[in-house]
Amino acid sequence: MDIEKLISEMTLEEKASLLSGDDFWHTKAVERLGIPRTMMSDGPHGLRKQAEGGDHLGINDSIKAVCFPAASASAASFDRDVLRQIGEGVGDACQHENLSVILGPAVNIKRSPLCGRNFEYFSEDPYLAGELASALIKGVQSRNIGTSIKHFAANSQEHRRMSSDSVVDERTLREIYLPAFEKAVKEAKPWTVMCSYNKLNGEYASQNPWLLTEVLRKEWGFEGYVMSDWGAVSDRVKGVAAGLDLEMPASGGSNDERIVKAVKNGELSEEAVNESVRRILSIVDRYEKNRKPDTPWDMEAQHELAAKLAAQCMVLLKNEDNVLPIAAGEKVAVIGKFARVPRYQGGGSSHINSFRVESLMDALAGNENITYAQGYDIITEEPDEALIAEAAELAAKADKAVIVAGLPDSFESEGYDRTHMRMPACQTALIERVARANPNTIVVLYNGSPVELPWIDCVKGLVEGYLGGQAVGKATRMVLWGEENPSGRLPETFPMQLEDNPSYLSYGGEGNTAIYTEGVFVGYRYYDKKKMNVRFPFGYGLSYTTFACSNLVLGKEAVRDTETLTVSVDVENTGKTAGREVVQLYVAPAPCDVFRPVRELKGVEKVYLAPGEKKTVTFTLDKRAFAYWHQGLHDWFVKTGAYGIQIGKDSRSILLEKTVQVEGTTEEPAQTVTVDTIFMDLVKNAQAMKALEPLMSQVMGSLGAGEPEGTAASEAISDEMSNAMMQYMPLRGIVSFSGGAISFDQLQEMLKGINQK
C-alpha cells in the first residue's frame, strides 16, 4: 500500500470508519480504495476463530483447533523455547486460517491467587513474564502473524473489571506491572497492543494519554496500533486523542460519527485521526504482503507437540520416598473425574474448541495394570460417600494410587474472581480417604492458580499440572511413568492460606476503587521479605535426578551502572537420569533507605544435562538489574553499593552468592532545605552541614549531650537520647536551642545560601 496516498484520498468519514471494527472480528474495508478487511482471533494458546456474528466469551462455537498449554502452565516451563514453539504453532494455524492477528499473550501480573483470569497470565514476577511473553510473540510473528499483547495495564482482577479504577503509585507500576509489557514491546515488537477495561489512576486505559502515548509510544518506541479490549471504550473521542487507534468490536457507526463531528467542531485534530489510520493500515499491509493461506496445519503433529511441551511444564512438588516415577508393572489405581474428562484450559475468550482431547485414561489405554474409579463429581462440591468408598477400596488393592484433582471450570474463569483458595470439599475428602487406604498416594492437580493443600502431609507425591492443553493426559502419563523427567518450576508462590497473600486486605477494592496497598511487594517479594512460611516458594520444583551448581564467576568485582556485568555458573547433573535444570539468578539490592525486596529474579536459563554432564550457564546484567524507580527523578536509579549476585533453586534456596560493587552514575535530585527539614536528612547535603556546623555544639549542649557520668542530668538524658533528638529535630529548632545565637530571620537567610546552586 501507498499509505500516505490512501490517506490523502480518503474522506473524513472513511478515515473514521477504519477506527472501529466491521463486526466482532474484522477490521473495516474501504472497497473504493482497495483497502481489505482483515480478521483477528482470540488466543494465545490456540485459535478461537469464529464465524460471522461471533462473540468474545466463547458462547458460540469456534472452529476445531489445537489447544496448547495455557499461560499458567507454559510459564512453569521457565523456558523461552517452549513459548517460542507454541507461538510458531499458533502462527502457522493463523496463516492457514487467514487470520492477521492473534489476541495475546496476556502478561498481567498475578497480584492475588483470586484473579479469575490467572490461568491466562504468566507469573507474579515481571522479569519472567516479560521473557516468556517475548518468546511467544517472536514465535507467532516469525510466521508474519501479528500479536496483541494485553491487557495494558494493571488488569489484576475480574471483579468490576469494566469500571474498576486501579490506583497504583508510579514506582509500583514501573517495577511490577509495566516491565513485562516494556520488555516485550522493546524486544519482540508486537504488531498491536490491547488496552484493558479498567481505569488506571482515575482514567480509563482506553483514553489514558500517559499510558498509551507518553509511556508506550514515546518512551518504549511502540510502532503498531492500539486496540481496545472488547467493549472497553468509554469516550471514543478522548480515546483517539490519547492514542487508542482501533475500537473493537463494531460500534454500529455511532462512534465513527462522533469522531467526524469532533474533527469538524475542532474538538479533535484530523491529524490524530490520520495517525491512527496510518498505524492500522501499516499492520493490514504487513499481513497482506505476507499472507500464506497454503501454510499446512498438521493438527495431529501439533497435538504431539502440545503433549511434549506440557510434560516440560509440569512441576513435581513432592516426591517422598521416591514414590515417582511409577515403575513398569506396578499396579496403579487411577482416581478422579479429571482422569477421564480433564480440565485442561480456562473459560472465556481463550477457550479453544479442541479437535481432540487426550485424558490420562486415554493415554493409559491397554495397560492391564491400571484400574479406575471416578471418586468425585464436578457438579457438586459435596462428597459422595459411594464414590469415595469405591475409590478407597480400589486404592487399597493397588501398589500406588494416582488421584487427578483440581479446580472445576466454575471455580475460575474470565468475568469473575474466585472467593477462596480451597479445592472442592469432595476432592479433599477423597484424597484424605484414599491416602489412608494406600500410603503410596500421588496427587496430580489441574488448576489455573494456587490452591490450599490441607492434605499435603497425607500424600507422598504431588504434581502440579496447571492447565496443560488438550494433550495433558499424555503429558501426565509421561511424567508419572518417567518418560519425561519433570522440570517445571512454580511461576508463583503457593501461600499456606489465602489470608497470607499481600493483597488480601485490599484485593477487589471498595466499590470501583482498587488501591494496590502492597506496592512493589507482590508475591515472593512480600513473602521473602517477611520470612513468612509458604507452602511452596516461587521457582520451586523437583526432579527425578539431582543437580549441583558451582564456580560462580563475576566478570568484574566492580561496575558502573552504565556497564554490563557477566555472570557465569557451572551446572552439573549429579544423578543417574537425564533432565533439565532451571538456573535462577537473583539480585539482592544494596542497603538503601528505600523499601526494596530481599531479592529479585533477574536471570533464568534452562539447561538439559545427561547424567554426569556439566555445562556453563552465562547471564548478562545491565543497569535495570540493580535499579529501582526513583519517584523524584521519574527514572531508573542505581544506588551505589554492594549487590548480591545469587544463584538459587528457588527464591528461598540460594546455593551460591558473590558480591559486586555497583557505582550509580546518576545523581539524586538536589534537596531543597527548608526550616522543616530534619537534621537526619541533611547528612547528604555537605553545603548545609558546613554552614550549620558552628551551631551544632550549642544545640547539642542544649539537648543535654556531654553531661558528666553519674550526674542527675546524665541519668535523665543519655547521649544516645540527645543524638536521636538532634537527628529528628527540624532546622527551625536551632532558633530555640542555640541560646540566641541565631534568629528565625537569620536562619531563613542562611537557607537561601544553602539552596543556591
Categorize the per-residue pLDDT at 60 as very low, low, confident or very high, splitting at 50, 70 and 90. Answer: low
Lowest mean pLDDT among 568-577, 679-688, 741-750: 679-688
Q: Tell me what percent of the residues of the chain surpass a pLDDT of 70.
A: 94
Identify whether the C-beta of residue 281 lies closer than 8 Å to the C-beta of residue 3.
yes
For residue 307, which of 267, 362, 348, 349 has the smallest C-alpha distance? 362
**415: closest CA among 44, 667, 163, 158?**
158
pLDDT digits (tens, 9 = 90+) for 382-441: 999 999 999 999 999 999 999 999 999 989 888 899 999 999 999 999 999 999 999 999
State the pLDDT at residue 698: 60
Task: Report pLDDT digits (tens) over 290-305.
Answer: 999 999 999 999 999 9
- Active-site position among 22, 229, 417, 650: 229
Q: How confident is the model at residue 729 (pLDDT cuts 50, 70, 90)?
A: confident
Burial class (CB in 10 A: 0-12, 13-18, 19+), 719: middle
- pLDDT per residue over 107-137, tens digit each? 999 999 999 999 999 999 999 999 999 999 9
DSSP string across 394-409:
HHHTSSEEEEEEE--G
CA dist., res. 65 & res. 49, Å (int): 9
Give Cα 600 distance to the centre of its chain.
Answer: 14
Catalytic residue at 245? Answer: no
In terms of DSSP H, where are the helices of 423-542?
Answer: 425-437, 472-480, 524-530
Each residue of 216-247: pLDDT tens digit? 999 999 999 999 999 999 999 999 999 999 99
How do beta strands 165-167 and 146-152 pair? unpaired
* Alpha helices per DSSP H over 449-489: 472-480
Per-residue pLDDT of 586-604, as tens digits, reads 999 999 889 999 999 999 9
Residue at grid coordinates 497492543: 193
229 phi-psi bin (left φ>0, alpha ψ -120 to 50, beta other): beta
Closest CA to 583 of 489, 634, 674, 648: 648
Which DSSP category does 673 fall into?
P
Residue 141 — pLDDT band, cuts 50, 70, 90?
very high
Cβ atoms of 419 and 159 within 8 Å: the answer is no
Q: Is 304 helix (H, G, I), strand (E, B) or coil?
A: helix
Q: Answer whether residue 98 shows pLDDT above 90.
A: yes
Q: Is the CATH code 3.20.20.300 the one for domain 3-289?
A: yes
| Mean pLDDT score, 702-714 | 53
Q: Confidence band (pLDDT; 50, 70, 90) for 710? A: low
- Average of per-residue pLDDT values in the chain: 93
Question: What DSSP assignment string belongs to 282-300?
Answer: HHHHHHHHT--TT----HH
Question: Residues 177-203: what's their mean pLDDT?
Answer: 98
Determine the pLDDT at residue 321. 98
Q: How confident is the model at residue 748 (pLDDT cuts 50, 70, 90)?
A: confident
CATH assignment of 547-663, among 3.20.20.70, 2.60.40.10, 3.10.20.30, 1.10.540.10: 2.60.40.10
The pLDDT of 74-89, averaged and rounded, is 98
Return the percent helix, strand and coil in the chain, to nearest 5: 35, 20, 45
The beta strands (E) that lie in 496-634 are given as: 513-515, 534-536, 547-554, 558-560, 565-573, 579-588, 600-609, 614-621, 628-630
Report how far residue 471's alpha carbon sits from residue 46's, in angstroms, rounded to the nearest whole number. Answer: 13
Residue 255: all three cell numbers together: 462512534
**How far is CA 713 from its chain centroid?**
58
pLDDT tops 70 at residue 461: yes
The whole-angstrom distance between residue 161's C-alpha and the CA centroid of its chain comes to: 18
Count CA atoms closer than 13 A to 178's CA, side-chain side: 19
C-alpha span between 220 and 212 (Å, rounded): 10
Identify the DSSP state of 43. -
Of the listed ranges 312-321, 586-595, 657-666, 689-698, the least confidently predicted one is 689-698
Alpha carbon distances (Å) from 451 to 397, 417, 454, 517: 29, 14, 10, 23
Q: Is the pLDDT of residue 16 over 60?
A: yes
Q: For 158-217, give the secondary structure using H, E and C.
A: CCCCCCCEEECCHHHHHHHHCHHHHHHHHHCCCCEEEECCCEECCEEHHHCHHHHHHHHH
**142 Cβ contact list (under 8 Å, min separation 6):** 87, 88, 91
pLDDT for residue 673? 85
Q: Is the pLDDT of residue 580 over 90?
A: yes
Give the gyration radius of the chain's Cα atoms: 30
Please state which of the four CATH numbers 2.40.30.10, 3.40.50.1700, 1.20.1600.10, 3.40.1130.10 is assigned to the domain occupying 300-536.
3.40.50.1700
> Domain segments of the chain: what residues?
3-289, 300-536, 547-663, 679-755
Length of the chain: 757
Spatial distance between the Cα atoms of 308 and 171, rounded to a whole number of angstroms: 40
